[in-house]
Amino acid sequence: MDLDAFTAALPKVELHLHLEGTLEPELKLDLARRNGVDIGQSTVEEVRATYRFDSLASFLAVYYPAMDVLVTRADFRDLAMAYFRKAAEQNVRHAEVFFDPQVHVARGVAFEDVVLGYHDAVEQARRELGLSAGLILCLVRDLPVESAEEVVEQMLGFGEQIVGIGLDSDERGHPPAKFAHLFARARAAGFKVTVHCDIDQEDTLEHLRQALEDIAVDRVDHGTNVVEDPRLLALLQERGTGLTCCPISNSFVTDDSKAPVIADLLRRGVKVTVNSDDPAYFGGYVTENLITLTRAADLGPDELIQLQRNAIDISWAPADVKEEFL
Ligand code: ES4
Ligand code: ZN
């Protein structure tokens, strides 16, 4: 079997995926029609033509307005189900997926419709696809902190549906420390904690320091800049804190997949994992991300297996799902 076929067949775990980033142009147009929302484009080609990014900011400027097409509980369910079907086709057995409730609530959508719509899909995926999934509420760091406080307050009533809390969006001027009180609150209520430290952003190392030292996150999303600081790298290794890397996304945000750094960290025993981030926008789900890394850094089958072992290890999956995997 060649390595691409091996990668495709390998049972996989996805830990860094934004559900709103799985909105493919076809579904975007269907939902726009269903809800009478004018998105400014009417064909798949026109929608794809707007997908030109060379930085985090230029991506986010396309990503957020597109969310207007998501209105009802059923819309959120349909979006997540379309992703879970795609994931199951790629032999993903467990997925932990982010969603951005502040953006939806700001448009007048009820928090409950977002969470329960996504949760409907989690249940359906378990029944119909044998796929296990967890929802991670992501705070949008460049929205007012009061709106983050509101969704955390609401999240406390949804411990059955939500497994953890994250932090995403534009890093400039929005350090993790700004949300430390909310992470503490969520953790005390039993939620796991992860924080995006996007690649090569302003103050990435200081953001990483805050995430690891001040917040003591359970894992870091992206975070490969840690190689630049031996003290932080030692802390990461000592605690076994995992990194959720996204090679194809990196090439859009920074013009470099960072494959050598990801492979180097893997070979040094850091719990790195490979994931999709926003596959509908960046054009690759988990298999394509693994193939991109494999080619660029010359990985072998044992290393591909190790990436999946790392992922199940640092996942927040229930014990029975962990035991069954690999
Ligand atoms: C994101 Cl690539 C990336 N970075 C930060 N926040 C995000 N939300 C969705 N994709
Ligand atoms: Zn992300």
- Residue minimizing CA distance to atom 1 of ligand 1: 169
Asked if residue 175 has pLDDT above 80, the reply is yes
Question: What is the crossing angle of helices 56-66 and 247-254, to 10°?
Answer: 110
Q: Assign domain 3-9+23-314 one CATH number from 3.30.710.10, 3.20.20.140, 3.30.9.10, 3.40.50.10140.
A: 3.20.20.140
Type of residue at 280? A
174 labelled ligand-binding: no
- Residue minimizing CA distance to atom 5 of ligand 1: 169
If you average pLDDT over residues 6-34, what whole number do you get? 98
Structure confidence at residue 1 as a pLDDT band (50, 70, 90): confident
- Residue minimizing CA distance to atom 3 of ligand 1: 169
pLDDT in tens, 87-119: 999 999 999 999 999 999 999 999 999 999 999
Q: Is the pTM of this model over 0.90?
A: yes
Compute, in angstroms, the gap from residue 56 CA to the centroid of ligand 1.
Answer: 7
- Domain range annotation of the chain: 3-9+23-314
Instruction: Give the number of the atom of ligand 1 that is nearest the alpha carbon of residue 198.
Output: 4
Structure confidence at residue 11 as a pLDDT band (50, 70, 90): very high
Is the complex ipTM higher than 0.90? yes
Q: Which of 136, 168, 171, 248 to mutate to test the pocket of ligand 1 (most atoms within 8 A of CB)?
A: 168
If you average pLDDT over residues 60-74, what whole number do you get? 97
Phi, psi of 79 (to 5 degrees): -60, -50
Task: Tell me what pLDDT residue 172 has.
Answer: 95
Task: Tell me what pLDDT residue 247 has.
Answer: 98
Instruction: Give the number of the atom of ligand 1 that is nearest the alpha carbon of residue 138.
Output: 8
Which residues does ligand 1 sit against, CB inside 6 Å? 18, 21, 56, 168-169, 196, 198, 249, 253, 277-278
Show contacts of 24-33: CB within 8 Å, 24+ apart: 24/82, 24/280, 25/280, 27/78, 27/79, 27/82, 28/66, 28/69, 31/69, 31/70, 31/71, 31/75, 31/78, 31/79, 32/69
278 labelled ligand-binding: yes
